[in-house]
Chains A and B, each alone.
Chain A
């Protein structure tokens, strides 16, 4: 990839009314990266994503895509650059899967008209990529959660964007569908896609992300590889609860597990009297 970052945030600040949500966010994302956004509830993860997609405009600072300020893009141009997969999609009307995926062609089309051969080909490719082509004639209202999320991802891919933004795409998926989703995202990276994803699940973040941005009360606590950022000391401080962090022998990625109160209290006692510390090592 070129030396210029594909996505650059500089001093981004945002507030809903008087309450500040994001403060002085500066980070850069190179083309072809999968970057996870992690942090406690209310730390501003989803808001950050909405600012990158230009749905919300920051009160301070700016977002640049390929060197150009997003504020200067038209809505349709943004739709051709960025595909968004929300956490959950409201399906009010029984559109077919094919119709839903063809919605992804909207930024490429104008006014009234029917989709052309190129649009249909893009929609089919996207459905094939997410292994959902067999669902094409089904009504979106009849799909399971996992199937629906694959269709929504296909819709984003039908936009033929260079950047994908995902807000906890696996939040409502079981463990198999969750890993299927992230395996697919890794495949997309190989095709040149750049991906930012909000994740609640720290294990998935450690397993799949090239880098993570850890947010704490609207500011960046740390940016780096999962191994650099997701340490016992950092996670415990930011999330406000002791966690168990260890290396997974099979994946070589970190595992992060919650601890119940008796364990947390024992751990705290050990750190006050460090002679009996074992296992959970602090760097």
Chain B
């Protein structure tokens, strides 16, 4: 602990939601990431939510250009990035304007007063200076002349003003680190690593960070500081991880466990590009990442690689998945293993590239010509992206079929605490490779249980064969236009995917297995759903949660679970896709639905409200 000369009282808190907001050039994402690191070192559990505009640098000082980073950290288990902020750092009037509605009524707000000049607040859409009228009544406002103090902190270093002001985000970070009684050494160590080649920048950042910290200590506005004790996490080694990195690493793990070479064919697209970037880094694991000329070439190169015996992947977001549709059909027809990752974003068309949504579910399930069933799996947390990528690979390879893995922008860019697994504890992946000179080999002869065909890899003696997009004759794999054969093959392809239900876990229920309300959700909303449902359970409500990760096929016990509840409410970030899928697959139930399509995550409070209104309907 720092020497705290002012000796402000320290208040213990269970959990805190902190939000950094500024211009998209102000470095808010980095500031947030650095605070996350400090939370990690303090042993807190946490979850983060970066919220940034689609433009790289939208006009300075406008609401459109505001970039935010929210972190929810705590002594208790943290499953969401939090609803409303307890502490807001607003680097300019626009960021105050954009985020005030996501801030608790009595929150602490740190503002850079240097930016609250007439030009600034008018540009943000305020008629008067919000620091001087009643806009911030009720808030604990810490007014800091961040820009001035930053320049002052580095004046001895003789830096250009523009360069000096680049580190003003570190002044804000310094204040926040003081507020939460955090040490500066980890952040200083980061500067030393990051700016290794530029010692003067290291020094500037250190001085500004310290100046911010000292400012916090010295001013009257801060009458108390806060402490958040370490969380009671299981024993183990931990790290901070985002969903996209976890996805990439899950694939590397799958490649090693299966003994297959990893091949990724991909084309950059927000918010999926980091998976491609990450996999280009690790060539030492024999992984080959190919940046193709477009989305179609991304998946087609992966299909070619799959035929040669690689663990083949392609990564994209919604618009890219549309472009890949025809090729997914080819992978279905050729029965080759392939994992297609769709990091969902707001749609349709270009939609909301940097915002999260769950609206590609129907596309994943049905968006192809002909009868083209694929396995669909949805990752449920940033950490789970690792396991979902691993499992999608296992299912694709062992069942010889394409698998669509759905994640989303919030999981992809959000980070959380990841308990590092050992590869030896992960399940085996056994590719069904055909043996050289196997006289009984036929390209479309199948395993009796899983119905997968064998994988006959070029280079293997005695197994030369051709596959393609034309309908295949059962067993021989020759081209066939026979009517009855087409019906048989269509049914086999469907049955092969449905039998995957025998190889995935049964649906798990959080709460009692019967009650007044079953809340159903899927994919990336797990954290917020869990938090809301657990809160209601603690209040004694007969409410349970079934959160789905396996979408096609659904777990075998799905209907069994649904039977035992008076009401079923399906919550999702789209206009009702999973609920309609359930209506089709399990029509015997009445499903209510709660949908949010704003490019934003659910808030715990809105879910609670919805649950209560349904439970009240029931009693009245």
> Are A and B interaction partners?
no
Interface residues of B (CB under 8 A from A): none
